[in-house]
Amino acid sequence: MKKIVLGLLLAFISVTSFAWTQRAPGTVAQCQVHAPFGVPQVQGQVQPICREAYLVGYDAQAKLPRFVMWTLTPQHALGCVARSNAFVADQSVPNGAVPGDYAGTGYDKGHMAPDGDQSWDQQVEYESFLMTNMSPQAGSLNRGIWKLLETSVRGWAFQGNQNFNIISGGVYSAQDKTIGKGVVVPHAFYKIVVDENTKQVAGWWFPHVAPYPNLGNDLTKFRLPIAQIEQQAGVKFAMPQGAVELQPGKEWPVDFGALTNAKRKLCGANASTD
């Protein structure tokens, strides 16, 4: 009996500890900073959801973001707000995904716009945990090379003192499996990165097929021409005029040690590197 009471208490605490007030989404025009070259065109319908720090193209049928895009500035690349893990259903979307859809499935609730890019303001950090910013990801990807790319982008922005526009999303079809109440599990993920100053661009494509092997840490192996990503994902990305696509291995430099030290200097010795 004591175990049951304790379990209920812990469940109650887990539900109430991260209660926060959701703001209504803004207009697409208010999210122009996150789509400086235009909004992607997709096959099928998506619902635009504008948050302060990112713009979602939400697929209500798949209960997934078709794309999420945001602009990362050098000033926001090293935020000090602690990770809240405040996963919650997006109140602006009826019958959308809920955290419980992922329970017991073995999949992580994988951020498309990462928490680490949103940790410069508490409300913004909370909004990074809305389920409309999540896709089912194997831990070997989410906590592996996907996280490495997320950290790299923060390094590129901070150490290069440049704004970067990023677009992430899952690639899925009617043949892909679902979890919970209809949340589709993508069979691949992509990320497009644009240096807003130089107009240099690069794209990555990560397979996401069981048994989900560890993909290592060589990001150059997963570079793919943006035209091929568009074809596979069914998304037409708006690129800057005069965009120059970098060759694999020619991506922007990053010093991970220096990045970690800068974060600790700014936020304290125990600062998270997520």
Q: How far apart are CA 52 and CA 237, in angstroms?
A: 21
Q: What pLDDT does residue 152 have?
A: 98
Residue 271's pLDDT is 72
In the chain the first and final C-alpha atoms are separated, in Å, by 39
Global pTM reads 0.92
Q: What pLDDT was estimated at residue 273? A: 65
Per-residue model confidence (pLDDT) at position 48: 98
Tokens 């025009």 correspond to what residue? 29
Task: Give residue-wise pLDDT tens across range 183-220.
Answer: 999 999 999 999 999 999 999 999 999 999 999 999 99
Cα–Cα distance, 186 to 38 (Å, whole number): 25
Side chain identity at residue 21, one-letter code: T
CA of residue 212 relative to chain centroid, distance: 19
Domain edges within the chain: 27-267
Fold of the 27-267 domain: Extracellular Endonuclease; Chain A (3.40.570)
Segment holding 35, helix H or strand E: none
Question: For 169-186, b where at least 16 C-beta lie within 10 A, e where not — what string?
Answer: bbbbeeebeebbeebbbb
Q: Using 50 as the pLDDT threshold, list the residues of the chain that sit under it.
A: 1-17
pLDDT for position 11: 42
- What does the pLDDT read at residue 67? 98
